[in-house]
A and B are shown apart, each in its own frame.
Chain A
């Protein structure tokens, strides 16, 4: 027995995540150098930060209680505009992305169509909504139409890509069974492809509605209509209590949307 206690160690140490000691130290060193460089080039005006802290406290204080009343008309106006913009952009975006998504699925579309649709998806995914909105505002003038366009384009990139991926991952047996009944192409899509991808797509469209609402708050900052414009005005005037009210309204609506989408997804599946 005395042999055993000598050969077996009495203590244990967790093995390191990266086995090679050199690689491990190299990574740590690289991270340290990067951090030093990044923090070194970052100019922080601490005086300005200190000056702003009371303002930050005032802003936090404005949440208790937020001022819904003074600017209620413009808040309501902005929120409603955001909601309408979100609804229509989501619907239009999804309607556009169904053909694009079908075309971008490798197992459905012939090669030229596939490449064309993938190109559409790639182009609409490249830029964030805000940049799309800037250009929409430049081209189509201020107002919710520009925001609607920006959100629709972004929706196409998001939705068509996921739809195409879902179609590519579908069960080919069911599709073949429907085809064996002599179904036409549209019947085949309707009875073999659609039922397989539908539950996930309904969930995703609710998710996209949610995203579009959040983004609609941002497109307003660059002139695309909606609650963002109201929020920007509130900040520019340092009316923190109204800004707090707007933020709370946004958070509330997002929570409702999230709850709804969760409920809908459970109901569909």
Chain B
């Protein structure tokens, strides 16, 4: 932290002037990018609609209240489907993520080539949203709950495998060494040296991902992959706003319950 002479008195400054200029320049570039993006976006915006939005919002809110409670009868099955999509999808993801994580962890990977393949699988699964996975699967295996389950599964592999392989890389090697010293074979070393160490992390990841998947599976129906999103989509297209508000409330409640459950379970495990 430099002290600069100013009018014969030392003045404390946080940065040197070179640093100050550097920061100023970085800010300039940043602001320029933002302004440029804003221009591009605003070119493609019809501002009349934006100005009109508050009236529209008030209008929509008026049509949404009160929620049509009697519609709830038709929602129980979609809610059940939504929960199943999330749970079964998470199960598939966990089963598949386990070997992938062992291939991707630096200390357990059988070969560098295997490791880079596993890392690529993880990145691709993570960078494609579950809705896009669902879009693909609906085109391939047809609409329905099954497509949703597979979509959630494929999407969650990357997340689970990534967190899991980070946990594997952080294990205590001395325990593995102790197991090796007893004359354990490779699989035994895995089962008694490594798995017990990552089991708490594994359980935490499973519950955490299940919570996220409940949220994600509520919208999968928008592209036809089953669950409550299907009802949301059809209610919006038929402008049945009182049904829409009820569905939104149900989605909210499902999310809150899943968060509560996952917090409880995580508390019990860790």
Question: Does A56 lie within 8 Å of B140, measured CB to CB?
Answer: yes
Question: Does A42 lie within 8 Å of B145, measured CB to CB?
Answer: yes
A251-B215 Cα distance, complex, nearest whole Å: 23
A211-B252 Cα distance, complex, nearest whole Å: 22
| Chain A CB within 8 A of B72 CB | no
Question: Does A255 lie within 8 Å of B127, measured CB to CB?
Answer: yes
Select which of A34, A51, A84, A251 is within 8 A of B37 by beta carbon.
A84
Question: Does B141 lie within 8 Å of A49, measured CB to CB?
Answer: yes
A148 partner residues in chain B, CB cutoff 8 A: 41
Question: Does B252 lie within 8 Å of A126, measured CB to CB?
Answer: yes
| Chain B CB within 8 A of A24 CB | no
Shortest beta-carbon distance, A181 to chain B, in Å?
A: 11
Select which of A53, A81, A88 is within 8 A of B44 by beta carbon.
A81
* A:194-218 near B, CB below 8 Å: 214-215, 217-218
A90-B206 Cα distance, complex, nearest whole Å: 29
B223 partner residues in chain A, CB cutoff 8 A: 221
Q: Which of B104-112, B131-139, B173-181 contacts A (4 or more CB under 8 A)?
A: B131-139
| Chain A CB within 8 A of B156 CB | no
| Chain B CB within 8 A of A138 CB | yes
A251-B236 Cα distance, complex, nearest whole Å: 31
A14 partner residues in chain B, CB cutoff 8 A: 192
| Chain B CB within 8 A of A162 CB | no
Binary flags per residue of A89-105, CB closer than 8 Å to B gives 1, else 0 = 00100000000000000
Residues of B within 8 Å of A, CB-based: how many? 54
B136 partner residues in chain A, CB cutoff 8 A: 59, 235, 243
Select which of B60, B141, B218, B232 is within 8 A of A48 by beta carbon.
B141
A80 partner residues in chain B, CB cutoff 8 A: 40
A14-B247 Cα distance, complex, nearest whole Å: 48
Given A127-B248, A218-B132, A221-B222, verify A141-B50 contact (CB < 8 Å).
yes
Shortest beta-carbon distance, A132 to chain B, in Å?
A: 11
A13-B232 Cα distance, complex, nearest whole Å: 52
Question: Does A255 lie within 8 Å of B84, measured CB to CB?
Answer: no
Question: Does A254 lie within 8 Å of B44, measured CB to CB?
Answer: no
Question: Does B128 lie within 8 Å of A251, measured CB to CB?
Answer: yes
A42-B78 Cα distance, complex, nearest whole Å: 11
| Chain A CB within 8 A of B66 CB | no
Question: Does B135 lie within 8 Å of A221, measured CB to CB?
Answer: yes
| Chain B CB within 8 A of A45 CB | yes
| Chain B CB within 8 A of A168 CB | no
Q: For chain A, give the interface size range.
A: 35 or more
Question: Does B135 lie within 8 Å of A235, measured CB to CB?
Answer: yes
| Chain A CB within 8 A of B21 CB | no
A140 partner residues in chain B, CB cutoff 8 A: 45, 49-50, 53
Question: Does B44 lie within 8 Å of A131, measured CB to CB?
Answer: no
Question: Does A145 lie within 8 Å of B50, measured CB to CB?
Answer: yes
Given A38-B87, A84-B41, verify A43-B127 contact (CB < 8 Å).
no
Question: Does B128 lie within 8 Å of A141, measured CB to CB?
Answer: no
Question: Does A49 lie within 8 Å of B142, measured CB to CB?
Answer: yes
A91-B35 Cα distance, complex, nearest whole Å: 11
A59 partner residues in chain B, CB cutoff 8 A: 136, 139-140
| Chain B CB within 8 A of A231 CB | yes
**Additional pairs, 12, CB under 8 Å, beyond known A88-B37, A250-B127, A251-B124:** A42-B146, A52-B142, A55-B139, A56-B140, A56-B141, A83-B37, A84-B37, A85-B41, A126-B252, A127-B252, A139-B60, A148-B41
Which residues from chain B sit less than 8 Å from chain A, CB to CB?
Answer: 33-34, 36-38, 40-42, 44-46, 49-50, 53, 56-57, 60, 80-81, 84, 87-88, 123-124, 126-129, 131-132, 135-136, 139-142, 144-146, 149, 192, 199, 215-216, 218-219, 222-223, 232, 236, 248, 251-252, 255
